Structure formats: C-alpha cells, structure tokens
Amino acid sequence: MKLIKLYEFDYYDYEKGEYQRYNYRKELKENCESIGRFIAEVPESAFDFGDLLRIHGSIYRVQRLSSKEGLARVEELEINLYPEETEYTDEVTCPYCGRTNESFELPDEDERYECLECGSIMSILREVTVTYSAEPVERNKIVNLEDTKND
C-alpha cells in the first residue's frame, strides 16, 4: 500500500516569526522538505485528487499531488457544513467555503457550478437588471410663438 505524506504551506511559523509560503519556482519535494508543515501520512487509495479531507478535525483539499514522490500539498479550508443560500451578490459566492468565483464568463445555460476552491457543487441563478443612462447631446430648437398674433 502506497502512502502519501501531506504537507501544508502558507501558514505562520511562530518559531521563525514569519509566513511560510509555497515557492512555485521549486519542486514539490524541495518545498516539503524546507518549509512544508507535515500534516499526516495516508494511503493513496483513501482519497481522490480534489476530495475534501478531514484530518485532526480540520478540512483540507489537495492542491498538488506527486504519487511518484509520495507527497502532496494540501490547503486548509473553512467549510460550512450547514450552508445557506447566498443571495444578490455581485459574483457567484460559494455557500460552502465562501469563495467568490469569477462569474463574468460563466455560460448562460449551466445552472450547476463547481467551486474552484472547495470543489463543492452549487446551483446558480443569474439575474440581469437592465438600466439606461442618457447623456445630453443637442437640444431641439425652440420656436418662440408667444409674440405672434393670431390673425
């Protein structure tokens, strides 16, 4: 059974007094060994890429996985286990994790949408309000007829 070591990044290291951020210029293994915070070691067969993982009471999502090296980068997420509808927002806001998802390029016909942060599925409804503005360009000529006599 192949085991995967899960590491977290983008956290505050109180011993060093600084944030530990994932360095995209380095390989996963180098990041894990230098600044990663070890979370757990789990069987590779226990999860699929993109699943939400509950470990030690926290919820994580796999961001990067190297099966060959037996390493994974995970990110802790705040998940609302009892979500409510998010209404009248400027962008699609996930009711599960609260992430604001870019909404401009969503297809009009798709009512179901997968959150880019937590992978949860939500149903969306796009409401369009049309408003108009008018800018003055040229006023029509006014003909003064007040001084003319009616013959």
Task: Write the pLDDT tens digit of every residue in 1-57.
Answer: 899 999 998 877 888 888 888 888 889 999 888 888 999 999 999 998 888 999 999
Query: What number of other Cβ atoms are within 10 A of residue 72's Cβ?
Result: 26
Residue 151 has pLDDT above 60, yes or no: no
Report if pTM > 0.75.
no
CB-based contacts of 121: which residues, under 8 Å, 6+ apart?
112, 113, 114, 115
- Helical (H) or strand (E) element with 28: helix 28-34
pLDDT of residue 147: 73
pLDDT at 59 over 90: yes
Largest CA distance in the chain: 109
The predicted-structure confidence for 86-120, as pLDDT tens digits, reads as follows 888 888 899 999 998 777 777 666 678 888 889 99
What's the confidence (pLDDT) of residue 77?
92
Burial of 16 (0-12, 13-18, 19+ CB in 10 A): exposed
Would you state the pLDDT for residue 150?
63
pLDDT score for 43: 93
- Strands 71-77 vs 3-8: parallel, antiparallel or unpaired: parallel
User: Phi and psi dihedrals of 99, rounded to 5?
Assistant: -70, 140
pLDDT for residue 112: 83
Query: Across residues 139-144, what is the average pLDDT?
Result: 84
Q: What is the mean pLDDT of residues 74-84?
A: 91
User: Quick one: pLDDT at residue 69?
Assistant: 94
Beta carbons of 41 and 6 less than 8 angstroms apart: yes
